Chains A and B, each alone.
Chain A
Amino acid sequence: MNYIKFSIITILSLYSANSMAEGQGGGLPQMDIGTYPSQIFWLIVTFGILYLFMWKFAIPKLRTTVEERKDKISTDIDDADELKIEAESILSEYEAKITESNTEATEIYNSTKSTIDKKTDLSKQENEQKLKKLIDESQATLKKKENDAIEDIIIKTVETTQFIVEKFINEKISEEEVRKYLN
């Protein structure tokens, strides 16, 4: 590409030299020294203004913007790190609390269970005792009633025997004697 360009420049220079030789007042405009003072003067003016603008306005603003962003990013990262640490401590606290409450819950469960068991045992025993007492009492009454019934039967038998004996042999027989025979 450079070869093409420089050959073109050479051709252009020759062309302009040719037109100059023909007296057409041409030539490369770049070679017209008369325009140099104006170009350099206006270059100094415009570039000076641009330099002042960049120096006093654009660069400080750009610098503060870029630095503010860098600061913001680094502080954000720091904040994030701090929050992460905080979150981790909260997590461990939370886990500790969970294990604590777990043990507490088991304790409460165990104690409640034992008290309930105790109470159940107690009432069971009480009930058994009551039941036993009841059974004993009823057995006792049964026994008594049985004895009473037997006694009744015996009395009735004695009376019947006394009555039969009186009827047959017309003779009173004492109760003791009848009982003696009955046994």
Chain B
Amino acid sequence: MSAEKSPNLIDPIHQFVITTIAPIKIGNVDISFTNSSQFMVIAVIAVMFFFILGLSKRSIVPNRFQIMCELSYEFIANLLRTNVGDQGRAFFPFVFSLFMFIFFCNLIGLVPYTFTVTSHFAVTFAFAGLIFIGVTILGFVKNGFGYLRMFYPSGVPIYMAPVIIPIEIISYLSRPIALSVRLMANMLAGHSIIKIFAGFIVMMGFFGVIPLAGLVAIYALETFIAFLQAYIFTILTCIYLNDALHPHH
């Protein structure tokens, strides 16, 4: 790695390197347990811990943990209800798990010396691709070939069709890429900025307090972005679901 060769230089991408912890191979496919897998497990355990702790002593008058659990539940339930409606109920476990997983991965990734699972294109694209394929299948199952009318919005004059339909198809196909790149790029850039600023603090010695102040501000911003990106990912999932369930709106 380049960090080993020049230890004094800031290497902002070293934190994204995947290192194998336990090598596993099935046939020719390498599915080793890596630091990425490790932090996926940590995030899932954290989410489970969060809910088990919050729901262990369920009461009518909730304690603080229970309030947090219920707030997250109500938040995602409202998101799904306002964007998809009652038909979205079946997808609530998926959407809720998705939000909690991405949010916890983003948040855990902000702790120094950890790994950000969602900063990798493979993970975000796996989610986005799953959502894209799922929503497309759902759209065709629910609407038949009427789902294709989504590419030709009503009220558009017929002579605009050759222009509109390719644009709509391209925008539809670019959804998973936009969805996954947005999350991954935000995580990648945010963590790189943090690393670079942290390097400045070391380099500037006493005057490092100036980038330190900047780092504190950026950390606050990144904490917000950790939530915001999870929220955006979830709300876009809801919007795509809505498109599949009610394509004519």
B-chain residues with CB within 8 Å of residue A160 when the two chains form the complex? none
A96: CB under 8 A from chain B? no
Measured in the bound complex, the distance between the Cα atoms of B62 and A66 in whole Å is 10
The interface of chain B, by Cβ under 8 A from chain A, is 1-2, 5, 12-13, 16-18, 24, 29-34, 36-37, 40-41, 43-44, 47-48, 51, 55, 58, 60, 62, 66, 69-70, 73-74, 92-94, 96-97, 100-101, 117, 119-123, 126-127, 184-186, 188-190, 192-193, 221
A-chain residues with CB within 8 Å of residue B117 when the two chains form the complex? 43
B-chain residues with CB within 8 Å of residue A69 when the two chains form the complex? 60
Q: How far apart are A59's CB and chain B's nearest CB, in angstroms?
A: 6
Closest B residue by C-beta to A32: B18
Measured in the bound complex, the distance between the Cα atoms of B93 and A1 in whole Å is 33
The dominant DSSP class at the A interface is helix
Number of interface residues of A (CB under 8 A): 47
B70 near A9: Cβ-Cβ < 8 Å: no
Closest A residue by C-beta to B186: A5
Measured in the bound complex, the distance between the Cα atoms of B191 and A12 in whole Å is 12
User: Assuming A26-B2, A28-B16, A62-B55, is B34 touching A9 (CB within 8 A)?
Assistant: no
Q: How far apart are A27's CB and chain B's nearest CB, in angstroms?
A: 9
**In the A-B complex, the 9 residue pairs with the closest CB atoms:** A5-B189, A42-B37, A55-B93, A46-B40, A41-B31, A39-B122, A58-B51, A36-B122, A62-B73
Measured in the bound complex, the distance between the Cα atoms of B48 and A40 in whole Å is 21
Measured in the bound complex, the distance between the Cα atoms of B24 and A46 in whole Å is 16
Closest A residue by C-beta to B96: A54
User: Assuming A49-B44, A50-B100, A69-B60, is B188 touching A37 (CB within 8 A)?
Assistant: no
B36 near A30: Cβ-Cβ < 8 Å: no
B58 near A39: Cβ-Cβ < 8 Å: no
A-chain residues with CB within 8 Å of residue B60 when the two chains form the complex? 68-69, 72
A38: CB under 8 A from chain B? yes
User: Assuming A9-B188, A29-B13, A46-B43, is B69 touching A62 (CB within 8 A)?
Assistant: yes
- Of the A-B pairs whose beta carbons lie under 8 Å apart in the complex, a sample of 23, sorted by A's number, is A5-B190, A12-B12, A29-B17, A29-B120, A30-B120, A30-B188, A38-B36, A39-B120, A42-B31, A42-B37, A43-B117, A43-B122, A53-B48, A54-B97, A58-B51, A58-B69, A59-B96, A61-B58, A62-B55, A62-B73, A66-B74, A68-B60, A69-B60
A8 near B193: Cβ-Cβ < 8 Å: yes
A37 near B189: Cβ-Cβ < 8 Å: no
Chain A positions 53-88 with a Cβ under 8 Å from a chain B Cβ: 53-55, 57-59, 61-63, 65-66, 68-69, 72
B-chain residues with CB within 8 Å of residue A66 when the two chains form the complex? 70, 73-74
